[in-house]
């Protein structure tokens, strides 16, 4: 199919005001009758044909205003239905199709998950249920009648409010749902099955009572309590932070075990991957609890940013996704620790989005062309999209940001919008010109900001020179300067921020870098300061500065900005690791770095009360961070070795302190997943990880003891993770024990897969292959595929990048196997190759060969073909 281009957007020639769906459920032959109230769109072309989208559909019949259409009135195929000469007035089109949910392995449209029926319609799944104008700018009011077996599907759900239920004879029953809010087809949902439910209530700020329901498999109701609490917290937060109230009588979440992504924000009926709903102390880790809270919030927040105001077309995906990620990040920052949330988001952004932006799959936050929209649910659209919103807020200030959001909600409620319409609201309330800011949406690549500083003691000035540039990315060779908010402080020798004076007047703390080069001269600077740059990561840029390690180590101890205290230590560690990699590659022993060890040791100081923050300080830059910093000729084994040296050096230098911290942080009371308790556990495992560095016997024994005596799943999994890094009898014992005790629970099996697939050991690939053949593995289940093969590809730098190329061939083989049955999941596995071009030549050649092998495969799906083509371009 031809690529879709933003520049070629045209309004639909027809609109659909109302949809009535009659869904007669059957495992292999579900009959869907759609009555569509259509009318010509005044903004469309006159005398246009009506072409409805379809995908893998079987047409049974079609009629206009009750008059059956004959085959020669129609041009029909599984992928479209065209009526050449439809009425030029409002009319009703009735279309009946047959679909086979049991054969739907793509998990898009109507499919079965563990016996239940469920749907996934974003982005283009509705067309797999019925012929439709399946585009987000066609908004309709939906009424859904579902009929199914009473015994097999006692629960019948769709969007909106329940209006009728009843018996339908022969052991069948029905339910009718009406959603009064016009919505695009991608927000349609239907669920039917035999499910357990947890119920609660929420009273909105306007005093309306909303029924809350979380549906899960029978017997798992007690694992839905945290999700329910998260719904209520999200609803309250959106009222308080954005003045947004829920708008239906009922809000439902359904957990399903077969799901291509994390969750889906269907109006009033969110469908979730069960991994992001189910939690109990025995089965979930602190990370699971935090993820559930954040993803429940994310999907709920879409009710306003995505559902009430949706996207005009899929190029505007960041309008809902970037903004909603920003909102869920702020929610978590308010619920937990703001600095810890910021640090972990920036770690994630750098490790995945910066990597994407630097490789062959780089694309703008708002792409201008796509071959397969499913491949644009990317870290760039989501996470960089959220950073752009955050910069906007940093640039215009919190009050103007809130005023702009209020204006956006008032002005565009019920509409399908563009980024320009969103940005216009902020331009209006702030009076600023956003034309340059909009480049953040159109230019791919991570801008680099080079900073040079100079202190003039005599003139008492501190001069900062900033030069910005954005590297060329595929299809974009020339780049223009963007608006870069630089939040900074000048930290005096007493550790305090100095007043910022520029041009004789107080200035900052946020400065906008708008030109290729910017000079800021600070005045009245009595002593040489340590500059704290891009506080709180005020822009998603790569910073290259001349700030000396001494100054960074000073900032690591004294900066008032907690993010930059962390960043300063990370920068010193990263510089050290880069030098160590060079040493390893030339056969030398890496240098020692006692000052870095001292900076990191602060994390284990009993005086540090925020353990979650301390755990972030203690965590060294990842192997991916080092690879990105190197940028080219990357040797993952050398990076792993260099990082291993540093960890062992830390153990040698900080041993007693690590041990004291480990013992001090031992679990005493009952388990609670709250942020402070989770922080203590995270710091404890950071100490344990260093104690076991290099496979040190005492550390391994302690990890094994923690595993055996664990009183909650977090300790157990973290201990197993530490053990899994080093070959030892304790490792094998604990892995076998975990399988014996938890192997029957699919979500716990996933944890076991993840731990083994990420082990940096030479036999990992053999184990992964063996596990793929084990009874618990099911290639049709995306969670199993992601935890085993996805982790091996994207979370195991040394073994995926084996010099013999076996890792690449293995992942490419699984992609080939999944290509037809679930192309979306297959294409996502290829994300592992996003940095292949930066590898050293031998590995690069092997990675390229694996990609070329895929490119030559017959019948490549659109999803896989698109990624392979762009990766090789
Ligand atoms: N908006 C949702 C995206 C999503 C999705 C996209 C393509 C295929 C399957 C999918 N499942 C969910 C989820 C979100 O970002 O909120
Ligand atoms: Zn989303």
304 Cβ neighbours under 8 A, 6+ residues apart: 238, 242, 244, 409
Query: What's the pLDDT score for residue 833?
Result: 98
Produce one character per residue of 377-394: b if its CB has 16 or more CB atoms within 10 Å, e if not.
bbbbbbbbbbbbbbbbbb
The two three-digit tokens of residue 228, written as one number: 């329910």
Rounded mean pLDDT, 832-837: 96
Q: Distance of CA 541 to CAs 99, 468, 470, 853, Å?
A: 48, 9, 9, 35
Closest residue by CA, ligand 1 atom 11: 261
Mean pLDDT confidence for 556-578: 98
Can you give the length of the chain in residues? Answer: 873
Superfamily of domain 1-194: tricorn interacting facor f3 domain (2.60.40.1730)
Question: What integer is the mean pLDDT of 638-657?
Answer: 97
List, by residue range, all CATH 1.25.50.10 domains of the chain.
743-873
Question: What number of helices (H) and strands (E) belong to the chain?
Answer: 29, 34
The per-residue pLDDT for 423 is: 98
743-873 CATH pick, 2.60.120.10, 3.30.1490.110, 3.20.20.70, 1.25.50.10: 1.25.50.10
pLDDT at 296 > cutoff 80: yes
Where in the chain are all domains bearing CATH 1.10.390.10?
Answer: 310-442
Summarised one tens digit per residue, pLDDT across range 487-530 is: 999 999 999 999 999 999 999 999 999 999 999 999 999 999 99
Pairwise CA distance, residues 872 & 51, whole Å: 35
Pick the CATH number of 310-442 from 1.10.10.10, 1.10.390.10, 3.20.20.70, 1.10.3470.10: 1.10.390.10
Q: Which residues contact 338 (CB under 8 A, 6 or more apart)?
A: none
Whole-model pTM: value is 0.98
Pair of tokens at residue 31: 């009959």
Which residue ranges does the chain devote to CATH 2.60.40.1840?
450-547
CA angle 693, 696, 699 (to 5 degrees): 80
pLDDT digits (tens, 9 = 90+) for 319-348: 999 999 999 999 999 999 999 999 999 999
**CA-299 nearest atom, ligand 1:** 16
pLDDT tens-place string over residues 442-497: 999 999 999 999 999 999 999 999 999 999 999 999 999 999 999 999 999 999 99
Given the CA of residue 374, which atom of ligand 1 is nearest to it?
Answer: 7
- What number is the average pLDDT over the span 598-602? 94
* Predicted local distance difference test score (pLDDT) of residue 71: 82
C-alpha 325 – ligand 2 centre gap (Å): 7
Q: How confident is the model at residue 129 (pLDDT cuts 50, 70, 90)?
A: very high
- Average pLDDT (25-34) is 98
Q: Over 80: is that where the pLDDT of 1 sits? A: no
Sole residue written with tokens 């090789």: 872
At residue 463, the pLDDT reads: 98
Q: Looking at the predicted structure, is the pLDDT value of residue 72 above 90? A: no
Averaged pLDDT for residues 17-30: 98
Q: In the sheet where 269-273 sits, what is the strand order?
A: 196-203, 209-216, 250-256, 269-273, 263-264
Task: Please give the average per-residue pLDDT across 218-227, as a whole number.
Answer: 98
CA-382 nearest atom, ligand 1: 15
- Which part of the chain has CATH 2.60.40.1730? 1-194
- As its CATH architecture, domain 450-547 has Sandwich (2.60)
Q: Whose CA is nearest to atom 6 of ligand 1?
A: 122
Gap from CA of 121 to ligand 2 centroid (Å)? 13
Structure confidence by residue, pLDDT tens digits, 86-116: 999 999 999 999 999 999 999 999 999 999 9
Mutate to test the pocket of ligand 1, among 377, 379, 382, 824 (most ligand atoms within 8 A of CB): 377
Ligand 1 binding pocket (C-beta < 6 A) is 120, 122-123, 260-261, 263-265, 298-299, 302, 321, 374, 377, 824
Nearest residue by C-alpha to atom 12 in ligand 1: 264
CB 82 within 8 A of CB 75: yes
Question: Active-site residue numbers?
Answer: 299
């Amino acid at each position: 199919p031809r690529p879709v281009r933003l520049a070629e957007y045209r309004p639909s020639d027809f609109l659909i005001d109302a949809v009535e769906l009659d869904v007669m459920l059957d495992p292999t032959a579900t009959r869907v009758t759609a009555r569509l109230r259509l009318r010509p769109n005044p903004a469309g072309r006159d005398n246009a044909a009506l072409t409805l989208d379809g995908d893998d559909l079987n047409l049974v019949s079609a009629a206009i205003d009750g008059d059956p259409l004959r085959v020669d009135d129609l041009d029909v195929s599984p992928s479209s239905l065209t009526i050449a000469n439809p009425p030029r007035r409002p009319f009703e089109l009735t279309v009946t199709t047959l679909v086979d949910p049991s054969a739907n392995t793509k998990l898009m449209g109507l499919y079965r998950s563990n016996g239940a029926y469920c749907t996934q319609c974003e982005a283009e799944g509705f067309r797999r249920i019925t012929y439709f104008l399946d585009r987000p700018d066609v908004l309709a009011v939906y009424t859904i009648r579902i009929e199914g077996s009473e015994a097999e599907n006692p629960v019948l759900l769709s969007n909106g409010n329940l209006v009728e239920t009843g018996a339908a004879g022969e052991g069948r029953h029905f339910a009718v749902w009406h959603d009064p809010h016009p919505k695009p087809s991608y927000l349609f949902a239907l669920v039917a099955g035999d499910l357990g439910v947890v119920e609660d209530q929420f009273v909105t700020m306007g005093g309306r009572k909303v029924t809350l329901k979380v549906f899960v498999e029978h017997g798992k109701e007690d694992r839905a309590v945290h999700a329910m609490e998260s719904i209520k917290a999200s609803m309250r937060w959106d009222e308080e932070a954005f003045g947004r109230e829920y708008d239906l009588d009922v809000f439902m979440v359904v957990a399903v075990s077969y799901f291509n992504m994390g969750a889906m924000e269907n109006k009033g009926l969110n469908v979730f991957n069960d991994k992001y709903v189910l939690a109990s102390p025995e089965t979930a880790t602190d990370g699971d609890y935090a993820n559930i809270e954040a993803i429940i919030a994310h999907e709920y927040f879409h009710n306003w940013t995505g559902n009430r105001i949706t996207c005009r077309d899929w190029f505007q995906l960041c309008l809902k996704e970037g903004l909603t990620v920003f909102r869920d990040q702020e929610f978590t920052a308010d619920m937990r620790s703001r600095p810890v949330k910021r640090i972990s988001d920036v770690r994630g952004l750098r490790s995945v989005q910066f990597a994407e932006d630097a490789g062959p799959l780089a694309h703008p936050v708002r792409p201008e062309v796509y071959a397969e929209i499913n491949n644009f649910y990317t870290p760039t659209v989501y996470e960089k999209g959220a950073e752009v919103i955050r910069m906007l807020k940093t640039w215009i200030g919190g009050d103007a940001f809130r005023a702009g959001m209020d204006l956006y909600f008032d002005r565009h409620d019920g509409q399908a919008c563009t980024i320009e319409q969103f940005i216009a609201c902020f331009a209006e309330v702030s009076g600023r010109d956003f034309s340059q800011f909009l480049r953040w949406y159109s230019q791919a690549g991570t801008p680099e900001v080079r900073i040079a500083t100079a202190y003039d003691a005599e003139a008492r000035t501190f001069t900062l020179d900033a030069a910005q540039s954005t590297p060329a990315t595929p299809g974009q060779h020339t780049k223009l300067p963007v608006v870069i908010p630089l939040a900074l402080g000048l930290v005096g020798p007493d550790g305090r921020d100095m007043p910022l004076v520029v041009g004789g007047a107080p200035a900052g703390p946020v400065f906008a870098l708008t030109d290729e080069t910017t000079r800021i001269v600070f005045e009245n600077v009595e002593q040489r300061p340590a500059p704290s740059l891009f506080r709180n990561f005020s822009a998603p840029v790569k910073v290259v500065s001349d700030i000396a390690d001494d100054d960074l180590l000073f900032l690591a101890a004294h900066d008032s900005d907690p993010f930059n205290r962390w960043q300063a230590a990370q920068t010193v560690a990263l510089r050290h690791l880069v030098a160590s990699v060079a040493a390893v590659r030339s056969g030398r022993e890496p240098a020692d770095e006692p000052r870095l060890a001292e900076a990191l040791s602060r994390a284990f100081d009993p005086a540090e009360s925020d353990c979650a923050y301390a755990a972030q300080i203690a965590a060294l830059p990842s192997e991916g961070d080092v690879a990105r910093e190197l940028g080219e000729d990357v040797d993952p084994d050398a990076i792993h070795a260099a990082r291993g040296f540093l960890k062992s050096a830390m153990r040698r230098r900080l041993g007693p302190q690590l041990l004291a911290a480990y013992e001090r942080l031992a679990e005493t009371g009952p388990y609670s997943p709250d942020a402070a308790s989770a922080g203590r556990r995270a710091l404890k495992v950071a100490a344990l990880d260093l104690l076991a560095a290099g496979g040190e016997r005492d550390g391994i024994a302690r990890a094994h003891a923690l595993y055996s005596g664990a009183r909650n799943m977090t300790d157990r999994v973290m201990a197993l993770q530490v053990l899994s890094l080093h070959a030892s009898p304790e490792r094998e014992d604990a892995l076998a024990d975990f399988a014996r005790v938890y192997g029957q629970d699919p979500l716990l099996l996933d944890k076991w897969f993840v731990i083994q697939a990420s082990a940096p050991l030479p036999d990992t690939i053999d184990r992964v292959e063996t596990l793929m053949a084990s009874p618990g593995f099911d290639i049709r289940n995306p969670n199993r595929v992601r935890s085993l093969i996805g982790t091996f590809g994207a979370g195991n730098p040394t073994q995926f990048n084996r010099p013999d190329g076996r890792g690449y061939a293995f992942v490419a083989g699984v992609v080939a196997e999944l290509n037809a049955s679930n192309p979306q999941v297959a294409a996502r596995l290829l994300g592992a190759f996003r940095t292949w071009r930066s590898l050293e030549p031998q590995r690069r050649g092997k990675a390229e060969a694996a990609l070329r092998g895929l490119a030559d495969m017959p019948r490549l799906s659109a999803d896989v073909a698109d990624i392979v083509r762009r990766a090789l371009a």
